[in-house]
Amino acid sequence: MIQSGIRDLPPGAWSDRLKAFPYNNARRGDFLTTETLKKLVTMEPKRELRLRNDRRWEPEPFDQILRNNVSCVEASLGFVVGEIAPFPCSYCKCGFRSFPVCMIVPGCPEMTACVGCHWHKNGHQCDHHIAPEEDTAEEDTAMEDSEREDTTEEDLPGSEPDLFDLLEDVTTRLGEILKDTRENLGELNETNNLSRGVHEALLVANQDDEKKALAKTATEHFQTAFRQGQAMVANLEKCAAKVNEQMQTIKDALKKRV
């Protein structure tokens, strides 16, 4: 299991692995494939790789993600060598990124956002985004053109793409919570059955009334908790369905207005 939590750990197996670049998308023989990696590899590791508490990735699936996405390799190594941002970006603050803290990499101009937003390939939406120098002139021209355009209520607000990405992240997290809740409910059911078995065993063994009463009370508590868990799962599923429905409505509206 990849380490999780906000507490820094000294560089370890994953920081060493990331610096070795055992991924074809990151290394071609002796050559690194991106300017970002070339800069990051020169920096000293400061901590072990960690993920958010609710991101429970096993080593092999996580390794597969890195093999398929060089931006994820860059972001993971950026977390190892970077510095905690002076303030969390909006996405990290809401817990919509893969890492437990918002991390930036001073001295690596190729990484223009925090490592969490870089992982998701939407660094331009990060509060820490710094536009590359070569793009500044084009952005200034685009901004001047935009200011000259007339705006009406029918125009698509510039913030809506950010909202759209935010909704995608909300839906993903809701699915993760739903999955975890179902798993916890299964464990609770097993405990409930175990408690019921203890109660029945005590009855058969004809133990004293006090022990039987305690076993019966424990069984009732577990049964109550299990029913509450079932109700919570049902409510989460309804909430997930409503979120998906609203997202589809927003998608359709955006398509019509673009």
Domain ranges for the chain, please list them. Answer: 13-131, 160-257
The two structure tokens encoding residue 229: 């868990």
pLDDT recorded at residue 73: 93
The 10s digit of each residue's pLDDT in 53-83 is 766 678 888 888 888 889 999 999 999 999 9
| Mean pLDDT score of the chain | 75
Domain 160-257 = CATH 1.10.287:
yes
Residues 155 and 200: beta-carbon distance below 8 Å:
no
For residue 98, which amino acid is it? S
Residues 3 and 40: beta-carbon distance below 8 Å:
no
The 10s digit of each residue's pLDDT in 140-157 is 444 444 444 443 333 333
